[in-house]
């Protein structure tokens, strides 16, 4: 019985090509310059940098709310697992370096998105939240109602509050705030609190910053 061994170098050549491709491969994750434009004329690169590092010299100062570095850091274990599994697959010839880097990029993005959605502190200023609420008719109505009733109610309690109203020509009358008015006011305040609570996150306003974050795979020799 004879045995013939044929070496077509197919597996060996594939391994060499994949190793060579890995040597020239690179993965970047973040806000790339060509994806930085916003429809409001601003720059996501600038906004992202301000959030990532803060702007203490700005008036008023803008606090640091880092999202890229902590986001990628939190995804480190998953990125490492994907990289090791991918390396084994590349060596075995069952996967390509570019696809491995794409999976690593997706793992990094997941960590960044999770960080953004966690509502990074410090909390937004009251004026900032109210400014966002006033962009919508529902928000404006809720704020206007709350402002109206806040003028009626004193800080010391509701029972003894009175206000003056024009009555006739040049005269005024005292109008007692009724129980119904107090109940309406409480509902107005509660509506504003509900709209403000957990709805407005510092880094997820219009969604444009989050949408601009991406990964890019760079292979040596690729156009």
pLDDT in tens, 48-62: 999 999 998 888 888
pLDDT attached to residue 170: 45
Q: How far apart are CA 138 and CA 191, in angstroms?
A: 10
The 10 Å CB-count burial string (b at 16+, else e) for 172-186 is eeeeebeeebbeebe
Per the listing, tokens 């403000």 go with 196
Q: How far apart are CA 215 and CA 117, in angstroms?
A: 19
Note the pTM of the prediction, 2 decimals: 0.68
Cβ neighbors of 122 (< 8 A, separation 6 or more) are 63, 65
Min mean pLDDT across 6-10, 20-24, 67-71 is at 6-10
C-alpha dihedral, 32 to 33 to 35 to 38, nearest 10°: 130
Task: Work out the pLDDT band at 171, boundaries 50, 70, 90.
Answer: very low
Tokens found for residue 43: 């720059």
Instruction: Examine residue 122 and say whether the peptide bond preceding it is cis (omega within 30 degrees of 0).
Output: yes
DSSP, collapsed to helix, strand or coil, labels residue 55 as strand
Query: At residue 209, does pLDDT exceed 80?
Result: yes
Round the average pLDDT of the chain to a whole number and report it.
77
Tokens found for residue 155: 């800080």
pLDDT attached to residue 147: 74
Average pLDDT over residues 162-190: 56
Whole-Å CA distances, 10 to 13, 15, 30, 93, 211:
5, 9, 38, 10, 42
Segment 146-159, tens digit of pLDDT = 776 666 655 434 44
Q: At what angle do helices 179-196 and 126-133 cross, to 10 degrees?
A: 100
Tokens found for residue 220: 């040596």
* Phi and psi, residue 39, nearest 5°: -75, -5
Higher pLDDT, 193 or 121: 121
DSSP, collapsed to helix, strand or coil, labels residue 146 as helix
pLDDT attached to residue 93: 79
């Amino acid at each position: 019985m004879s045995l013939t061994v044929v070496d077509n170098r197919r597996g060996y050549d594939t391994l060499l090509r994949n190793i060579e491709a890995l040597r020239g491969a690179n993965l970047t994750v973040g806000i790339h310059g060509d994806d930085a434009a916003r429809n409001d004329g601003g720059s996501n690169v600038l906004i992202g940098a301000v959030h990532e590092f803060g702007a203490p010299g700005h008036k008023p100062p803008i606090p640091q709310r880092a999202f890229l570095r902590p986001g990628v850091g939190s995804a480190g274990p998953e990125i490492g697992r994907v990289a090791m599994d991918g390396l084994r697959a590349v060596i075995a010839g069952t996967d390509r370096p570019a696809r491995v880097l794409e999976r690593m990029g997706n793992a990094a993005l997941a960590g960044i998105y999770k960080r953004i959605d966690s509502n990074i502190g410090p909390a937004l200023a009251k004026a900032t939240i109210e400014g966002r609420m006033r962009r919508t008719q529902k928000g404006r109505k809720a704020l206007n109602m709350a402002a109206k009733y806040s003028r009626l109610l004193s800080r010391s309690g509701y029972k003894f509050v009175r206000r003056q109203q024009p009555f006739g020509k040049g005269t005024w009358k005292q109008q007692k705030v009724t129980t119904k008015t107090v109940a309406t006011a409480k509902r107005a305040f509660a509506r504003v609190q509900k709209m403000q609570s957990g709805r407005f996150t510092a880094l997820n306003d219009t969604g444009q910053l989050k949408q601009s974050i991406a990964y890019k795979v760079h292979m040596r020799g690729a156009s």
